[in-house]
Amino acid sequence: MLDYGIVNALLVDGSGREKRWATIGIQDGQIAYVGQAGEDCPAREIIDAKGKYVFPGFMDLHTHSDHTLFLDGRGMSFLRQGIVLDNIGNCGLSSAPLKGEGQLAKNVFCYTPTDRAVTWGSMADYFQALAAGPGLAYNVTALVGHGALRSCVMGYANRPATEAEIQEMCQLLQQCFDQGAAGFSTGLEYFPGSAATREELLALCRVTAQNGRLYATHVRNRDRFYQQGYQEAIDMARATDVRLQISHAIPKYGVPEEGAQWILETIQKARVSLDIAYDVIPFLWGPTNLTAVLPPQLLSLPAREIAAQLRLPAVRDRLRGRKDCIWQLIVEEQWDFVKLKHCSHQRELIGKSFREIGQILGKDPFDALMLVIAEEGEDMFSGLISGRLRNEKDAELLIQAPFCGVISDAMALANDGPLASVKWSDACYSWVRELFQVYVREKRLFTLEEAARRITSLPAQRLKLKDMGLVEPGYRANIAIIDLDVYLAPRGSEDYAEGVAWLFINGRPVIQDDRLICQGAGRVCGPEV
């Protein structure tokens, strides 16, 4: 007798193959049976999926939920979309390891102070902290952030690492892999990753390759010098044979018209001999840390000193002339396309462009940006801004490549509990809807089946999760039963998705009729290598 039987299932199985009618059986946390529609399915509970689609649960290859899942393991904004796996630790930012002079506020996006004690040092300790209390509602894989490694070994020094420091980072990375980390990530546009030399990156990528893990990189430049940024990543893969994932590959403002085509062709050529892929977000706005606009010389200082410096007109005048800011939108004063998304103070400014903020504060937009950072004080590393990417045509070109994953580049939030005041991007609540509605229904760039593959079996393959991403016998029973008409209906940017009739995670029903009915079904997953 099966635990659950799903009948009248219009199955999109995650492989990219055409949908079909099926009967599905679940037993002991696994998919035990996939048969033809109408076949007998003896089970303790029968679920009629008539009028709905059945998918493998969706998997997000690139998120920043490192801290938010520690604060609230429900992961509600993702869970309500049908997400069953969240891959954290991207862009060189991760909660663990956390040792030495490392500061959690500097090592993750959207750090939020809490009464809950931060007790971990190692990756294993962090995994235990995630699973504590009610536990995780869905599955998690974790990359080791380069910035976290650096801060453990050498604090936030703005200099190349010594040979001894590189070896210590490599040993720490190996320890993280031994404890179940799924890969290694860099954020080379961000401090302190921007200070890394080729030798440092080669050493860390060799450790990653030797362990069969994935190397995910936010490349060093994605605007004026984008070719060097992407080529550095490819050269790293060629020199070390590491499996490479280029994160959010949509060109930023400042890339020339031919940039997206160059990125696509360059990666296609490299794929002939290397294991390389990339991913994109299904939105045209992308978020980053508020302090990312500052130079390394300032970011190496404590928050209090940074704030004091930014209040000095002479310092702001020097910063105004920088050409190497993380966003050329700021260099070229495109203030309508730079918005404040989250801050702890002056919350009335959230959602406004810096042109609007400048008018409200009676300041030049650049001065307004610097003073907003200063006003945040010790909370400045939690602030977020969002910028407009180059154009829609680039997204359409790059997303069509069959090796392109689709990601949120967001974090699991909730509109209640300890995360109620945290903002990030629309993707937190609706990135899967955006993929299905815009790229499948409206633009018709690929089928629903292909879109589902990009967020099920493709990320599972990249992360080497051999029993996830498909609805097939022997796979984990991670299954979403969705009424697509309800699911794709327009909603507010911070409203939960609706239309998820059932969501199974590791064989346990977690969502029923858009309601959380079980927490703790998720687990930390490691690759099979």
Which pLDDT belongs to residue 357? 96
Q: Is 420 exposed, middle or buried (0-12, 13-18, 19+ CB in 10 A)?
A: exposed
DSSP three-state, residue 171:
helix
In this structure, how many other beta carbons lie within 10 angstroms of the beta carbon of residue 257? Answer: 11
Instruction: Tell me how far apart the alpha carbons of residues 246 and 276 are, in angstroms, rounded to a whole number.
Output: 8
- pLDDT tens digits for the chain (529 residues)? 899 999 999 999 999 999 999 999 999 999 999 998 888 889 999 999 999 999 999 999 999 999 999 999 999 999 999 999 999 999 999 999 999 878 898 999 988 887 788 889 999 999 999 998 789 999 999 999 999 999 999 999 999 999 999 999 999 999 999 999 999 999 999 999 999 999 999 999 999 999 999 999 999 998 889 999 999 999 999 999 999 999 999 888 888 889 999 999 999 999 999 999 999 999 988 888 899 899 988 988 899 999 999 999 999 999 998 888 888 899 899 999 999 998 889 899 999 999 999 999 999 999 999 999 999 999 998 899 999 877 889 999 999 999 999 999 999 999 999 999 888 888 999 999 999 999 999 999 999 999 999 999 999 999 999 999 999 999 999 999 999 999 999 998 889 999 999 999 999 999 999 999 999 999 999 998 6
Cβ(449)–Cβ(197) below 8 Å = no
Pair of tokens at residue 313: 């007109």
Q: How far is CA 126 from CA 37, 91, 470, in A?
A: 44, 18, 29
Residue 5: strand pairing partners: 25, 46
Q: Which residue has the tokens 């939105």?
A: 283
Residue 234, phi then psi, degrees to nearest 5: -65, -40
d(CA 143, CA 388): 27
* Strand blocks (E) in 428-495: 479-482
How far apart are the C-alpha atoms of 380 and 463, rounded to whole Å? 33
* Helix, coil or strand: residue 183: strand
Smallest CA-to-CA distance from 499 within 511, 512, 510, 514 is with: 514
Residue among 139, 12, 23 nearest 454 (CA)? 12
Nearest CA to 357 out of 375, 338, 376 is that of 338
Nearest CA to 138 out of 219, 83, 178 is that of: 83
Dist CA 75 CA 79 (whole Å): 6
Kindly report the pTM of this predicted structure.
Answer: 0.95
Based on DSSP, count helices (H) and strands (E) in the chain, helices before strands: 20, 20
- Cα 270 vs. chain centroid, distance in angstroms? 24
Backbone angles phi, psi at 340, to 5 degrees: -85, 125
Task: For Cα atoms 482, 485, 490, give the angle at the middle one, nearest 5 degrees.
Answer: 110
Question: Which residue carries 């430049």 as its tokens?
Answer: 221
* pLDDT score recorded for residue 529: 63
Q: What is the distance between the alpha carbons of residues 95 and 118, in angstroms, rounded to a whole number?
A: 10
Domains along the chain with CATH numbers: 2-56+470-516 (2.30.40.10), 292-385 (no CATH)
Please give the DSSP secondary-structure letter assigned to residue 17: P
Reduced 3-state DSSP string for 143-163: EEEHHHHHHHHHCCCCCCCCH
What distance in Å separates the CA atoms of residue 98 and residue 107, rounded to the nearest whole number?
Answer: 9
Beta carbons of 441 and 282 less than 8 angstroms apart: no
